[in-house]
């Protein structure tokens, strides 16, 4: 992790500082890195951090989550090996809860499927997925011997051709590549409101570490033309990892402008504005960063319920969490606020989310109150930052 004196310009709501390059010469990725460093600087200056005891969790001893592209080949293979280990270990969930679960990996998928309508478009969306990703990272360490930290997918890389991304290039250090070509009429994303043209795939992945990976659960709400939902979402339904990589989705929605808008722009003024813009405005034809991130891999990843079946899910949600972490660091006065109810789009109507509400991940992690995971430097259980 590097610390910089550079800052985003004042028109983005941050202090004006000297740039290493003129603004016009800076890449989107450099701009995002500066934003990340502003978050680190804000946390360093936060009095609550300075007053912590040396042995407590703080910005200097926290785990550091990094971009997948900055992992060495050895580190990438270690992470992938741990994922495949979790997919090979037997399920420990009650079989009456998810009869189709066969692996520890399935235990995570099943919980997400089961709780989908109370963890999206809700006041706990950000915190639930933060804890879910942390629990997965912890399982990789505790159950599969992984020694590293959870990586994230930098959405700004290879947007014009995701197949060239180190995540999707099909090599042995990727999460497998595109699916085999199957002629189809595209996908309908954003709650059925936004059409995405077909890419060059659509079928089972043909290369990389997950080419023989068998998915046991779902799909529940597939977005791709011609893909049918399973009769029982939590029943046994073996199928392959399918993809239809979408540069259309990446170029339209995974943009630096959309990231800046939610972190320091017009949609950063409150957690409600932040999370609503992040998740998308489907009636306006806007997928948002969250939904677009699931749409770029396409195929089975586009299923709102069953998206964790694709291991890229956890790198995407680490990037979601990174964006949330940046917003919190740059809005410390609002960092612990919540907005929204307990049901998807408040349907049916429900009460507001509270810090006292419990996040229950079943066999995957101890239950925890939302208030305990609002701060990634809170310790017990969270202690990490992003670089």
Q: What percent of the chain has pLDDT over 70?
A: 91
Asked if residue 123 has pLDDT above 60, the reply is yes
Asked if residue 256 has pLDDT above 50, the reply is yes
The residues facing 382 across adjacent strands are: 379
Asked if residue 319 has pLDDT above 70, the reply is yes
Q: What is the mean pLDDT of residues 34-62?
A: 84
Asked if residue 5 has pLDDT above 50, the reply is no
Look-up of token digits 């701060």: 375
Band of the pLDDT at 2, cuts 50, 70, 90?
Answer: very low
b/e burial code for range 290-305 (CB count within 10 A of at least 16 → b): bbbbbbbbbbbbbbbb
Q: What is the mean pLDDT of residues 61-80?
A: 98
Cis peptide before 381 (omega within 30 of 0): yes
Strands 63-65 and 384-386, bridge-based pairing: parallel
Q: What is the mean pLDDT of residues 290-313?
A: 97
Q: What is the mean pLDDT of residues 58-69?
A: 96
Q: What is the mean pLDDT of residues 142-164?
A: 98
Band of the pLDDT at 24, cuts 50, 70, 90?
Answer: low
Would you say 102 and 91 are in contact if contact means Cβ atoms under 8 Å apart? yes
pLDDT of residue 52: 63
pLDDT of residue 54: 65
The residues facing 316 across adjacent strands are: none
Asked if residue 114 has pLDDT above 80, the reply is yes
Look-up of token digits 């009095």: 47
Give me the torsion for CA of 132, 373, 76, 106, rounded to 10°. -10
pLDDT of residue 122: 98
pLDDT of residue 7: 37
Band of the pLDDT at 26, cuts 50, 70, 90?
Answer: confident
214-248 pLDDT per residue, tens: 999 999 999 999 999 999 999 999 999 999 999 99
Asked if residue 50 has pLDDT above 90, the reply is no
Pick the CATH number of 10-171+251-290+317-386 from 1.10.1280.10, 1.20.1730.10, 1.10.10.10, 1.10.240.10: 1.10.1280.10
Query: Which of 40-54, 129-143, 175-189 is least confident?
Result: 40-54
Taking residue 312's Cβ as centre, other Cβ atoms within 10 Å add up to: 24
pLDDT of residue 12: 40
Band of the pLDDT at 51, cuts 50, 70, 90?
Answer: low
Asked if residue 110 has pLDDT above 50, the reply is yes
* Residue 87 CA neighbour count, 13 Å, CB half: 19
């Amino acid at each position: 992790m590097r610390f910089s004196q550079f800052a985003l310009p004042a028109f983005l709501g941050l202090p004006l500082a000297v740039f290493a390059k003129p603004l016009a010469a800076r890449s989107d990725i450099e701009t995002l890195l500066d934003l990340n460093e502003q978050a680190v600087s804000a946390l360093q200056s936060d009095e609550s951090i300075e007053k912590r005891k040396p042995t407590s969790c703080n910005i200097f001893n926290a785990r550091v989550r990094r971009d997948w592209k900055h992992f060495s080949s050895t580190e990438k293979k270690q992470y992938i090996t741990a994922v495949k280990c979790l997919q090979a270990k037997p399920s420990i969930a009650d079989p009456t809860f998810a009869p189709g679960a066969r692996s520890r990996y399935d235990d995570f998928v099943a919980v997400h499927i089961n709780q989908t309508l109370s963890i999206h478009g809700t006041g706990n969306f950000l915190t639930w997925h933060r804890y879910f990703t942390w629990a997965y990272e912890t399982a990789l360490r505790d159950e599969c011997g992984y020694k590293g930290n959870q990586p994230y997918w930098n959405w700004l890389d290879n947007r014009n051709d995701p197949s060239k991304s180190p995540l999707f290039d099909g090599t042995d250090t990727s999460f497998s590549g595109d699916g085999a070509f199957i002629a189809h009429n595209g996908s309908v994303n954003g709650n059925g409101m936004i059409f995405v043209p077909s890419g060059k795939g659509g079928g089972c992945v043909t290369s990389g570490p997950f080419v023989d990976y068998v998915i046991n659960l779902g799909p529940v709400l597939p977005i791709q033309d011609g893909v049918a939902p399973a009769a029982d979402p939590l029943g046994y339904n073996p199928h392959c990892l399918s993809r239809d990589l979408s540069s259309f989705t990446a170029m339209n929605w995974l943009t630096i402008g959309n990231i800046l808008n939610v972190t320091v722009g017009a949609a950063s003024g409150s957690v409600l504005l932040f999370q609503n813009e992040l998740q998308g405005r489907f009636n306006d034809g806007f997928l948002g960063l969250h939904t677009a991130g699931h749409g770029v891999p396409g195929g089975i990843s586009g299923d709102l319920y069953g998206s964790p079946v694709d291991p890229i899910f956890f790198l995407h949600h680490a990037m979601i969490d990174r964006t949330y972490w940046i917003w919190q660091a740059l809005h410390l006065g609002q960092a612990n606020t919540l907005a929204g109810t307990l049901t998807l789009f408040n349907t049916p109507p429900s009460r507001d989310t509270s810090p006292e509400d419990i996040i229950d991940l079943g066999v995957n992690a101890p239950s925890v109150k939302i208030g305990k995971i609002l701060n990634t430097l809170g310790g017990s259980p969270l202690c990490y930052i992003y670089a």
